[in-house]
Amino acid sequence: MESQKRLLYMKIGVVGFGAAAIGFVSEVMNSNHEIHILERSKDIYSSSISGIRSDGKIFVSSTMGGELEIPISIQREVVDFYIGKLNEEDKKSVRTGVSFDSKSEFFENFYAKGFEPVNSMFWHIGTDKLGSVLTRIYDEFSQKRNIHFHFNSRVEDIDFSDNRVILRGRDFEADFDYVVVAVGRSGHSLIKGVTSKYPEIVASSNTVDIGVRFELPDHLVEEINKEMYEFKVRLKTRTGYTVRTFCNNPSGKVVLENYDDFVTVNGHSNSDGSSVNTNFAILCTTRFTEPFHDPIGYGSYISRLSNILAGGRKVILQTYEDFMQTKRTKRLGRVKPTLPESDFILGDINLVLPRRISVSITEFIEKLSEVIPGVAYPDNLMYAVEVKFYSNKIDNDRYGNLKFIGDCSGHTRSITYATGHGRLLGSSLK
């Protein structure tokens, strides 16, 4: 009887308002449930960095973006949902394409050199258009009588009492029948607290991706950029590590990614381009075995080391030639960095990256240059470090009325998968 009542009406708390929460709320907004969204930012626009506030490249792929199964039909609906929030004029500026159609010449060339070309479709909205997408979503949701937004509400603790879930912040406490935690990667301190209190909800954790942001003039990659805009390839290197490209930004800019106690690099681009350079990440997937259990600590340590050598909250920039010769870069060549000068120092990345990672990355770049010759030009730029942290994988079946969705659950890494994860959970409550 009790469970029947709960299905008809529940007071639901949603922690965080990013891609996963958007997917969840879009499914339950027409239900009888009363939904309270607690977001730490002061409003919809000023939330922490993530793909729905920066860049906005939406992928549909069965092999990348997350480690759960999101049917392609749902992924396509996610794309339509976001693109549908743009006005007619802005829809025209969305770049779209297919990465590695198996019939393409690039597919064959990469394949012949030992790469695994990753097939996906993508739509690029651009940083400049994402604000209006979020505004429309917010307006649509907040018009519903059962949906309540609470900004400036950073949840710091989660507890159970009498089958209810309690959320606590500095100046509030509220209890719910059902709670959905969707705090992304930026909410790792909350997740760390909850998983130390309830360690039984952690299913596994052992991976971190570490590497560099690579920058080169647009004309060197013009052909592949024109054909697929975002090229994604993986290579199993001789060290046993897999190295991959990630987040290609034609005519884009390199930016800093700010964490509480260190900075790393990232990249983005506007819908109409903003520079004459292309940048992409080259990441080495590092998996640990017993007894090590702290991949986040490992990635943070290496990031901090790069900042220490750079003399503060800065990253290290080096030319490819100097990296290969393991000597500090003193002078740049023809490629002008798009990251502001105040955010980097010229240095030697070999002092930061463990040998196994730098050897893997070197092999990757040399092989890449066999397919795209300009990649190994001596004055191309490398910024270190770029790190992709994977959250602990959470077992969502452990506590029936406390669920984790999106990147903080450790099961997703992209807008499409995070939104899809939210939708799947939301539809199970309807």
Q: Applying CB under 6 A, which residues contact ligand FAD?
A: 15-21, 38-41, 47-52, 54-59, 154-155, 182-184, 186-187, 190, 257, 266, 406-408, 412-416, 418
Spatial separation of the C-alpha atoms in residues 392 and 138, rounded to whole Å? 29
Least Å distance, CB 138 to ligand FAD, is 12
* Nearest residue (CB) to ligand FAD, 18 versus 426: 18
Least Å distance, CB 331 to ligand FAD, is 30
* Nearest residue (CB) to ligand FAD, 364 versus 389: 389
Number of alpha helices (DSSP H) and beta strands (DSSP E) in the chain: 12, 23
* Nearest residue (CB) to ligand FAD, 33 versus 413: 413
The CA–CA distances, whole Å, from 41 to 29, 54, 86, 401 equal 22, 16, 23, 25
Spatial separation of the C-alpha atoms in residues 91 and 44, rounded to whole Å? 22
Spatial separation of the C-alpha atoms in residues 262 and 389, rounded to whole Å? 14
Least Å distance, CB 357 to ligand FAD, is 21
Least Å distance, CB 363 to ligand FAD, is 26
Crossing angle for the helix pair 72-83 and 415-428, to the nearest 10 degrees: 110
* Nearest residue (CB) to ligand FAD, 154 versus 367: 154
Identify the bridge partners of residue 83 per DSSP, sorted by sequence position.
none
Least Å distance, CB 276 to ligand FAD, is 21
Would you tell me how many other CB atoms lie within 10 Å of the CB of residue 354?
13
* Nearest residue (CB) to ligand FAD, 233 versus 371: 233
Least Å distance, CB 20 to ligand FAD, is 3
The per-residue DSSP string of 159-181 comes to EEETTEEEEE-SS-EEEESEEEE
Least Å distance, CB 37 to ligand FAD, is 9
Q: In the block, which residue shows the tokens 């998983």? A: 195
Q: Which two tokens stand for residue 311?
A: 């003399």
* Nearest residue (CB) to ligand FAD, 190 versus 376: 190
* Nearest residue (CB) to ligand FAD, 190 versus 352: 190
